[in-house]
A and B are shown apart, each in its own frame.
Chain A
Amino acid sequence: MVFSSIIFLFGFLPIFLIIYHFIDQRYKNHFALLSSLFFYTWGAPNFISIAILSIVADFFIVSFLSKSEGRNRLYLLWSSILLNLSFLLYFKYTNFFIDNLNSITSLFNGSEISIGTILLPIGISFYTFQKISYSVDIYRRIKNPLDSIVDYTLYILLFPQLIAGPIVRYNEIADQLHNRDSRNYDDKINGFYRFSIGLAKKVLIANEFGIKADFIFSLSTTDLSTSEAWIGILCYTFQIYFDFSGYSDMAIGLGRMMGFSFPENFNSPYLSKNISEFWRRWHITLGSWMRDYLYIPLGGNQSNKKWRVYFNLCLVFIISGFWHGAAWTFILWGAFHGVFLIADRLFLNQISKKWPSWIKIVLTFFVTVNGWVLFRSESLPFAMDFYRSLYTFNFNNIDTYLENKFIIITIIAIIISFGSISKLVSTNYSLFLSSVNLRVSLAKVALSIFLILLASAQLVSTTFNPFIYFRF
């Protein structure tokens, strides 16, 4: 069940919100868990048992861990991490490793291994990271473990962030699991507003770009002109941002209506002045998870040897790319960003120090757009051919792409993506978002109704409605 579907919007969500609103505080977690289980089972009936099995096992391992001392503590931590990673590795990467192994053995006329296609349980990449954060946070004694398995299962399966994040670390939500204000109407209105903004971003903007991007990426690269290739990749650039940030907005908004405060996941990433900054603004919860649970344990910036720091950086970004998908294109995309991050530290930041901000933003945007080619392509040869189309300077007529609707949506997307470059806009919008003034609340309600109506009209009328980050 996706948030931008009629069944969620007009079925699951209102029924959930009404019951959740009126149910006694003591049973809110139980009800939220039941709803989350239904939500997950509806989308992945074959995987719910696996998810629950791993959750129960993990809960008890970490319970023992919290009561243990010395080396046992470390062993239990590794048991938990390995348990979670083994599920992820099996479901997400087995096919990839076997395909690559077969490619190698075929070079030596070896026999092929075949185990059939393993389906990916939805949300596994996200909830695996949350589970690891639970084990590590308990191990580091940052927070106490949860007493109730209901609360733990709810933390992992809570439907707003279950499938595509944000990745909520245990220490960020531990207290809210049993102590949150779910009767605050400012939070509820703000949450609803945030949800409708996310829905509109996804349905009204991302989908419009998605149709064009999918069309252009389905064309044979031999027929693709430079102008078409640029339209295609720019459409994808906006599609992925509005799709993923829209989903995050919806998740954060839903959480807020329930009394949770989830971490932010995006902060105008296309305004970044270098790739390091991009990763502080794009998929923030993944970046900070990687930093705290991988980069720092590897030694982070603290190593005396510079090469070691660069190695750590590159490794973290390759793993980050691989986390997005079991394909060489994702690994290369991670490495591509890793290389720019190292270049930032080596010389780029120094060189560009005195450049005007807008030049740095344009250049960073250009690098990011080029990175998306790897991310979007089904294979490396396709990506290489696509790059060729981008840079052969073979321009043709693109009138057929430039419909009124597309032009207007593009202008809106540009304004939203780059609008907060103006301090006046960003400050006022932040004030608007956080304000609890009655007039502002009225404006938010009116805007929410308007956006929900527009998005619903589009949803009922069209069939194109994919979520990019569901596959990760």
Chain B
Amino acid sequence: MIHSTRISRRGTLKSAAALTALGTLCFPAISRAQADTVKIGHLTPRTGFLGPLGEYAVMAADLAVEEINARGGVLGRKIDLIKEDSVNPQTASVKAERLIERDKVACIVGEISSAACLTIAQVAQRTKNLYVNTGGNSDALRGSNCNKYMFHVESQNSMYVKTVGRSLLANNLVKDKKWYSLTADYAFGHDLLRVAKRFMEGNGGQFAADELVPTDVADFSAFLLKIRNAKPDLVVSNLAGNQITNFLKQYSEFGLTFPVAGFGFDTAVAWGAGKGNFFGIWPLVWHHLIDTPGSKAFVAAFTKKYGKPPENQAWGDYISMHIIAKSMNDIKSIEAVKLIEHWEKGAKFDLLKTREGYFRAYDHQLMHEMYAVEALKANELKNQWDIYKPSPPVPGPNEPLEAIAATPEENACKMSA
């Protein structure tokens, strides 16, 4: 029996709004840290449109810590990884502060959203703690927003653009060609669009159009109709996370045949697109087909633990944990200032690739090899994971690693102490 309680529409709407706001906060993590451990904070989006990638980051960080602890940990102490969902830039900042002030972590690792990287970096700078960015791409983080306490294992947008750019130049898709670009409407996308434009204009291409796509857009049909009408020579994706999956699925649904390339990419979003829905040329910092003993061992360990191969975001968090642990052991200190000094001096690291890498002192960007991958056709697929054909490492063996990175002129960084 339903009785008529007095429910005001306005009251209900207000409550709904309040609850939605509540949803953007999150629940505190339970930390079970002990005094004889080295605590490291891991912050990355585990919900929202970047959540799928965050999941790989967390799995990989867990695996790395397991390996490090099995080999004796850091300076005889075990690593205690305190993991949090960073949710959004504001929450990321609050949680970073809590990790540093309450949990007293030695450093913070992680993140994917460039906007959240910035707020975490500000906390790190204020509290003089170390932050290692494993997934935020924007050049501005290494340029106008660079700071002494932030290091970047993730590649900057310029490196992504120049890596794929080489394939596009080789395929004659730049000079005198019309590009139609779709860009994620937040810090990462805006930054990538700026870098992509610089590359395109520098090489004689032009835009048919560039569109900013809100991050919560799931339906691309209106864009696809416009693209079809504009008849571009190349469709460029500056999208992020789930956006790319939606775009790929619907692009093939509408049967568009213009070549596609992306300047930002994560393998997980293509794995999630479904058979026959992946095409184009895309850049990666790492992929599971790299033929080096280190990468093979990582893929094997990850697959054994989680039942599926790791993707590029997993590499970022995995290798960051190993870089941090090794450096702490090498310099026999867990202090941020000492680590920063060590890295700024150009310490080299095994990155599971053919060449060792190092942090560039002027902007703290990790110098390392990247890859362009080209989607295989549906009839060339042997399994659900190996969906692309990778290029050899970029830059090539005879070039300096800095060849694909932004120059100080392109992306000036004044490191404030």
Do A and B share a complex? no
Residues of chain B having any CB pair with chain A under 8 Å: none
